[in-house]
Structure 1
């Protein structure tokens, strides 16, 4: 017995739109998953490689991208006068700040931004910063190269970048403009020398989550397939009823 099908233009257009939407979003989620798989591979390679000595020669953005997640070392001295504090950075359920301090590379006027670690917030006085120590004189720090300090939702109007400012987010380019200092286009999440007190240097691993994006991709593929099968089913059902 031949299979009958009754074609209707509007359901056909709706089906095409849903299929196109599902396939487009599924492929986007798949690309996100591939990006995070590549990031995980770079992170693993960076952990296994010997630390890279960061030099004063200006880096291009693509050079910084090439060494993201790489362990690096740099020698010079901190410029604590231009320390800024990133707000809304919780650690183990406790509110606090990330401490960002410019670091002048030895024998040059070039700086790199160093994330020294985490400080707890004073709940009674939000503007009060816990006591901590920034080394003086020439030191060598080691850490992991990152392109940004991360971004959180901005609450209210962004505060102007100034020495000792408490801000939600900070861009290296903005800090360079505000301070007049020359910066490499990356920052270092400091891991050593270790500190027995504050700030805490226990950086969270990057959010990779490739499996989550694969799951979303499967759901969008399923939507596209469901839309197509529903169109075929209803077309066959209408044809059967019309006989």
Structure 2
């Protein structure tokens, strides 16, 4: 009888150690992952700062860059006319706890054939889902100061077909330059400009290149490390108490 009891105690202790070891390994892995993310964000911020130290570039400056240059983070100052008959409303954008849309439109640059997609900022959504916010576009060319982003523009979406909605304006769930170009029947450059200055367009610029800074990732890394340590401490005292009670 004592042998059976001893075996049960031994098996219980082994199971407990295995569970704690797995939990600690998971916490350490998550802590290391957050540490890596923090280093990546720090590097990204340094790259953005280096690029923005160049100040606002002209369109001619952009054209002189090698084609393979990733233009994310570059600042651009241009003048252009909004193609106001065709624009997009990016759905489910939250600003200060309010639901709304990001207003996207193509801009034909002055003295150039180039057409650039611009995110003008946030618009509050009407109460009824069936209604869309009204936009009064300026009829004259406007001066724009933009921060560029190139690469992964789509982000995560559950939408099966980003270009399914007919008519204008189009309510969209993701940014797809290829689909936008097809809808517009005009070629768009392979990046988007996020408006930084105020214009006659009543939208609120709110773009942040890095949403979560490295400090938060470092804090999460410490948090996971402490959780792993807590697992070890709790398991140790629990096993010690059980051993004392059984003796």
Question: What's the C-alpha RMSD, in Å, of the aligned pairs?
Answer: 3.9
State which of 163, 169, 172 in structure 1 corresponds to 2:177: 172
Q: Is the 8 A contact 1:58 1:184 kept in 2?
A: no
Give the conservation status (yes or no) of the 8 Å contact 2:56–2:76: yes
Q: Deviations over 1:199-219 (max 9, x none)?
A: 234325442333332222112
Contact 1:119–1:130 under 8 Å retained in 2: no
Q: Aligned pairs, how many?
A: 231
What is residue 63 of structure 1 aligned with on the other side? 69
Output aligned runs, 1:196-215, within 5 Å: 197-205=200-208, 206-215=210-219
Deviation at 1:154, TM superposition (A): 5.5
Name which of 30, 33, 50 aligns with 2:35: 30
The aligned counterpart of 1:3 is none
Whole-angstrom CA distance in 1 between matches of 2:80 and 2:106: 10
The alpha-carbon distance between structure 1 residues 126 and 203, as it changes in their structure 2 partners (threshold 3 A), is same
Question: What are the residue-to-residue correspondences of 1:48-197 with 2, within 5 Å?
Answer: 48-54=53-59, 55=62, 63-64=69-70, 67-74=71-78, 76-105=80-109, 106-108=111-113, 110-123=114-127, 126-136=130-140, 141-147=144-150, 160=164, 163-192=168-197, 194-195=198-199, 197=200
Structure 2 unmatched runs, 5+: 1-9
Partners of 1:47 and 1:71 within 8 A in 2: yes
Classify the secondary structure of the residue corresponding to 2:211.
coil
Q: Which runs of 5+ in 1 are unaligned?
A: 1-5
Alpha-carbon distance between aligned partners in 2 of 1:89 and 1:28, rounded to the nearest angstrom: 28
